[in-house]
Structure 1
Amino acid sequence: MDNKKLLTNRKMVVLIASICCILWGSAYPGVKSGYALFKIAQNDVFSELSFAGYRFAIAGIMVLIIPLIHGKNIFSLTKKNIGQVVMLGLTMTTFQYIFFYIGLANTTGIKGSIMNATSTFFSVILAHFLYADDKVDAKKAIGCLLGFIGVFIINFSSKLLNFNFNILGDGFIIMAAFIFSASSIYSKKLSETIDVILVTGYQLLIGGIFLIIIGTFNKGYITNFTLPSTMILLYLALLSAVAFSLWTLLLKYNKVSSISIFNFIIPISGAILSSIFLGERILDLKNAAALILVCIGIYIVNSNSK
C-alpha cells in the first residue's frame, strides 16, 4: 500500500491523527516537568521561549537525520523553497509560540487551554474559503461545537463564570491558535512541491533557532542540564518530530477539516496525562464526558468524508 492509500484509509487516519494529538497532549506534563528540572521560574517567558527553541531545533535535526540516513540530499531546496520554509518556520513555530507563551503568562492555564482550542474553528473556516471540496456544513459545525464543549467541560471551573477578556492573555492565545491554523494550511500547500520531511524538519529547525535567539537575547538562559532534564528535553523534541511529520503527511492527503477536528483531543489527553504523571486531581466523570463529546464530534465530521 502506497503512502496516499495508507494515509487516506479512514482507520489509519483516525489512528495516526489520534497518536499525534496524544503525543502533543503529553507535552503538557512534559513541559511542566521540564520547567521544574531546568529550574525555569513561573512566567519567565523568555526562558520558556529558549526552552521551546531547544526543543524544536532538536526536533528539526531529528527529522532531517531521516533522509540523510537514506542517502537523500537535504540541501536540494531552491531559493524559492528556502524562503517558503523560512516563512513557515517563523509562523508555525516562532510567532505561534511567542504569542502562546506571552498569552499564557497573562491568563490562566484553564482559559488558555480553551482559547487554544479555537484553532480547530480557524482551520475549518479557512479551509471553507480556500478549498472547494472542504466547505463548512451542518455536520462540521455540529462536530466542532461538540468538540469545543468537550474541551470546555474538562477545563470547567467556577472562575470561568466570571468572564473577562484580556488582550495580552486570551487575545494572544487566540492569535497563536489562528497562526497555527493558517500555517498548517500553508504547510499543506508546500508539501505539494517539497518533500514533507524537509518541510517539517526545516520549519522546526528554523523556528526553533529563532526562538533560542529571541529568548537568549532577552536573558532567557537555559541551564541545569542533568540526565533527567536532558531526557525530558529529548522526549519533547522526539514527540514534536514524530507528531509534526505525521500531521503534515495527513494534511497533504486529506481535507483540512477532517484532520483539524482531532485537535480537540490535545487538551483532553493533556489533562488526563497530567493527572496520571503529575498527580493533578481531575474528576474521572468530567474526563469521560469530555472525551465522549470529542469522539462524537470527530465521528460526525469524518462521517462526511469519503
Structure 2
Amino acid sequence: MKKWNDTSQIFTKPYLVCIFALICCFLWGSAFPSIKIGYRLFQISDADAMSQLLFAGYRFTLAGIMVILIGSFIKREFLYPRKSSWSMVIKLGSVQTVLQYVFFYMGLAHTSGVKASIITASNVFIAIFLSALVFSEKLSIHKFVGCLLGFIGVIFINLEGGGLDLQVSLTGEGAMFVSAFAAALSSVLIKQYSEKEETFTLCGYQFLLGGIVLTLIGLLNGGNVTGFTPASTLLLGYLGLISSVAYSLWSLLLKYNPVGKVAVFGFSNPMFGVILSAILLGEKNQAFTLKGLLALILVCSGILIVNRSK
C-alpha cells in the first residue's frame, strides 16, 4: 500500500498534480495585478525600467529568504547548498531570475501587453521541446494538439481592439522571446538539478542570488523605489510569497513528473491574470465576455488533452 508520507506519491497523483499546478498558476496570475498595484504604491512609472528591476530585485531577494526559512523549518535544519551545488544555484539563478526578468522588462518597455502575454505563453512549447531533447520525453500528437489549443486560448483572451500587429523588434518582441526561452530552460534545469540537490535549497538560493543581482542592476542604473508604508510593504511581502510558494511547489511537480505534463498548465497563467485584474483593477473588458469563456474552454481542453490517460 502506498504511503502518503512518500513525497513522490503525493506529487505524482494526477488530481493532485492538477490541483497543485493550478494553485501555482493562480498565484502567478495574481502577480500581474499585484505588480501594477505595487507600482502605484511605490510610485514607479510604467516607463521606469530600472526602478522596476529594483522592485523585482527586492521581491526575489525576499522570496529567497522565505524559501530558505520555510524549507529549513520543514527539514528541521538550516538549508545550505553543498559545495558541489553552488554551480547549479548560480546557473539556475542566472537563467530563472536574472536573464528572464532583465529581458522581460526590456521587452515589455518596447512592445504591447498583448504581444508580451502571447510570447510569454510560448515558453510552454519551448519547455516541452527542450524536455524532449534533454529527457527524451515523447513529442506525441495529442501533446502538440493540447499545447496548440492552450496557445490559441491565450491569444483569444489577449485580443482586444486590434492590439496585435506583425511589427517585430529585437528590443521588444525579441527580448520577450529570450525571456520566454529562459523561463522554459529553467523548468528543464530545475528538473535536472533537483535529482542532485534539495529542491528548497535550489529554489531559495537561486532566488536570493538572482534577487541581489537584479537589485544591484537597478541601483547602479538609477533605479529608485520609495513609498514604503504598511500597505506597500505588505504587498511586497505577498509578491515575495507568490514567488517562494509557487516556484517551490512547481519545482517539486517538475521533479516527479514529465516536464510537458506540468508545463502545459502554464497556459492558465494569463487566464488567471486577466480574471484577477478584472476583479482587483476593474479591467473587465477581456475577462467576463464570450471570448473570455471561449479562451478558458480552449486552455482547459489543452491541459486535459496533454494530461489524458493512456
The TM-score range, normalised by the shorter chain, is over 0.9
Aligned counterparts, 1:19-58, within 5 A: 19-58=23-62
* Residue 195 (structure 1) aligns with: 198
Secondary structure at the counterpart of residue 8 of structure 1? coil
Counterpart in the other structure of 2:295: 290
1:111-157 Cα deviation digits (max 9, x unpaired): 1111110000100111111122x111110110010000000000013
Displacement after TM superposition at 1:10 (Å): 0.3
Give the structure 1 partner of residue 256 of structure 2.
253
| Deviation larger for 265-274 or 66-75 | 66-75
Whether 1:211 and 2:214 are equivalent positions in the alignment is yes
Query: In the TM superposition, what whole-angstrom CA distance separates every residue of 1:171-204 from its partner, at most 9, and x where no partner exists?
Result: 1111100011111111111100101110111111
* Structure 1 residue 97: Cα displacement: 0.0
- What is the deviation of 1:160? 4.2
- Percentage of identical aligned residues: 45
Residues 163-242 of structure 1: matches in 2 within 5 Å? Answer: 163-242=166-245
> How far apart in 1 are the matches of 2:175 and 2:108?
8
Give 1:158 shift. 3.9
Residues 259-296 of structure 1: per-residue CA shift (max 9 Å, x gap): 00000000110011001100012242222111110000
Partner of 2:84: 80
Q: Secondary structure at the match of 2:105?
A: helix
Q: Write out the 4+ residue segments of structure 1 that deviate beyond 3 Å after TM superposition.
A: none
Equivalent position amino acid for 1:139 in 2: H
The yes-or-no answer on 1:303 pairing with 2:275 is no
Number of residues paired by the alignment? 303
From 263, 268, 276, the equivalent of 2:266 is 263
- Is 1:63 the equivalent of 2:67? yes
**C-alpha contact (below 8 Å) 2:115/2:164 kept by paired residues:** no
Report the Cα offset of residue 161 of structure 1: 5.2
Q: Matched residues in 1 for 2:154 and 2:71: separation?
A: 37
What is the deviation of 1:80?
A: 2.3
Q: What's the offset of the Cα at 1:27?
A: 0.2
Question: 2:175 aligns to what SS in structure 1?
Answer: helix
| 1:15 is aligned to 2:19 | yes
Amino acid at match of 1:147: G
1:229 aligned partner, one-letter code: S
Hey, what's the Cα distance between the residues in 2 that align with 1:187 and 1:139?
25
Please give the per-residue CA displacement for 1:60-116, whole angstroms capped at 9, x wherever unaligned. 1001002333531323x3332112101111110011100000000000111111111
What is residue 160 of structure 2 aligned with on the other side? 157
SS at match of 2:162: helix
Q: 2:108 aligns with which of 80, 104, 107?
A: 104
1:304 CA displacement: 4.8
Aligned residue type for 1:105:
A
User: Which residues of structure 1 form unaligned runs of 5+?
Assistant: none
Name the aligned partner's letter for residue 177 of structure 2. Answer: I
Q: 1:143 aligns with which of 120, 124, 146?
A: 146
* TM-score, normalisation: structure 1: 0.96
Residue 122 of structure 2 is aligned to residue 126 of structure 1:
no
5+ long unaligned stretches in structure 2:
none
Q: Partners of 1:162 and 1:171 in 2: how far apart?
A: 15
Query: RMSD of the alignment, in Å?
Result: 1.2
